[in-house]
Amino acid sequence: MSQSSNAQFSAQSPAYSLLELASVREGDSVGQTLANSVAYAQHAESLGFQRFWLAEHHNMEGISSSATAVLVGHIAGATKTLRVGSGGVMLPNHPPLVIAEQFGTLESLYPGRIDLGLGRAPGTDPITSRALRREGLGAEQFPEDVARLQTLLGPLQPGQQVKAIPGAGTNVPIWLLGSSLYTAQLAAMRGLPYAFAGHFAPRLYREAIQTYRDNFQPSEQLDKPYVILAVPAVPADTDEEAQFLATTSYQRILSLFRGQPLWMRPPVKSMDGLWNSGEKAGVKDFLSLQLLGSENSIREQLERLLQTVEVNELMFTVDLYDPEKRRHALDILAATRH
C-alpha cells in the first residue's frame, strides 16, 4: 500500500504527529521518564494524533531514547492505533541487517503500525560513534545502506543469500529524515517519504522541501511526495504561561550549546542572567520555527507557517517540564485543527 494512502491532507490541514526524545527531568529516573512517555503517547492517541516517533541519541545525559527499537515496541504495545516508529534510526551506527530484523519483528508484532525513519548522522560524538562499533563506516555509505534495508524488508528474491528473518516481505515503510538538501534529493530520487528536522535545523526547511517535491520520482512505496515538517511547540492556556514554560527548552538548548547535560529543568521567570546576548540569539535561531502561546496564538502561527511551505504532516516536539502540562499541551494542539 502506498504510504500516501494512510491519509490525505491539504497544505492547510496537515496531520499532527509527535517526536519524542524521552527527556529526563532533573532528579527523575529513566523508568519514570519512560512511564511519562507512555502516558503522553496514549493521550496523543486518544486525541487522534497520527504517529509517534522516537529519536536516537547516544551518550547524552538527559535523553533516554538510545535503544530506539526497544522503545518503539514498548510504546506500540501500550497503544492500539497510533503509528509508532523511529525518528530516526541513525543508520551509520547499525548494520542494516540488524535494523531489518528489529523492525521486521516490530511489524510482525504490530502489523501496519510501524515506521522506519532513517537518518545519516550518528546522533552523537565521534568517540561514542566508535564505541558503537561502526568504525570506518559513515554517512557516505548511507545511500547503499538504505538500499540494503529496502531489499531486506522487501519480498525475498530467488538466490538471495542474506535474509532478514523476521523482516523479509514486511515492507516496513522507510522514511528519510534530514536537515539538508542532500537527504531531500535522495528521498526524492528513491521515491521515499521525507521528514525535515525543523525542530533543530530550521534554516533550509523551505528549500529542502521544495527540492524534494520538485525532484520526486514515484516508487512502489509512494506514488507522490509526502512531507513531514518537525517543529517545536509550547502550547499553554495563555501566551504568558507559554512564555514561562518555554524557558525549560531554552535552558536545555543552552546546555547543548555549552556541552552540558541535557536534563529537563523547571521553567524560570526570566532567563536574564542565565544566558548572554549571543547565547540568547543562538537559542532563538535554533527555535526559529517554534510555535508558542495559547490555542488562538498557535493557530495563527500555524496559518503563517503553512503559507510558506506545503507539508502533509506536522510533527511536534513539546519540551515541557510538567508531564501533566505536557499532556494538556496536546489538547491545545489538537484543538487548533478544528
Residue 134: its pLDDT value, please?
A: 55
Question: According to the model, what pLDDT value does residue 200 have?
Answer: 83
How far apart (Å, rounded) are the C-alpha atoms in residues 284 and 279? 9
The answer to pTM > 0.85 is yes
pLDDT band at 4 (very low <50, low <70, confident <90, very high): very low
- How confident is the model over 73-85, as pLDDT tens digits? 999 999 999 999 9
Is the pLDDT at 67 greater than 90? The verdict is yes
Q: Does residue 98 register a pLDDT over 80?
A: yes
Is it the case that residue 185 has pLDDT exceeding 90? Answer: yes
Q: Say what the pLDDT of residue 122 is.
A: 61
C-alpha cell at 223: 506514488
The model's pLDDT over 141-176, given as tens digits with 9 standing for 90+, comes to 889 999 999 999 999 999 899 999 999 999 999 999
| Percent of the chain surpassing pLDDT 70 | 91
DSSP codes, 18-32: EEE--BPBTT--HHH
Mean confidence (pLDDT) of the chain: 91
Task: Kindly state the percentage of the chain with pLDDT values over 90.
Answer: 80
Q: Examine the pLDDT at 2 and tell me if it is beyond 60.
A: no
Residue 58: its pLDDT value, please? 86
Beta strands in the chain (DSSP E): 15-20, 51-54, 83-90, 114-119, 174-178, 194-196, 227-235, 291-293, 313-317
Q: What share of the chain is helix, strand, coil (3-state, %, to 5)?
A: 45, 15, 40
Per-residue pLDDT tens digits for 229-278:
999 999 999 999 999 999 999 999 999 999 999 999 999 999 999 999 99
Read off the pLDDT band of 5 (50, 70, 90).
very low
Q: What is the mean pLDDT of residues 190-202?
A: 91
Give me the pLDDT at residue 152, please.
96
Q: What is the mean pLDDT of residues 299-308?
A: 93
Average pLDDT over residues 129-146: 72
> What's the whole-number mean pLDDT along residues 117-134?
71
- Residue 125 has a pLDDT of 64
Burial 204-242 (b: 16+ CB within 10 A, else e): bbeebbebbbeebeeeebbeebbbbbbbbbbbbeeeebb
Q: Kindly report which listed range (120-124, 145-149, 167-171, 188-192) carries the lowest average pLDDT score.
A: 120-124
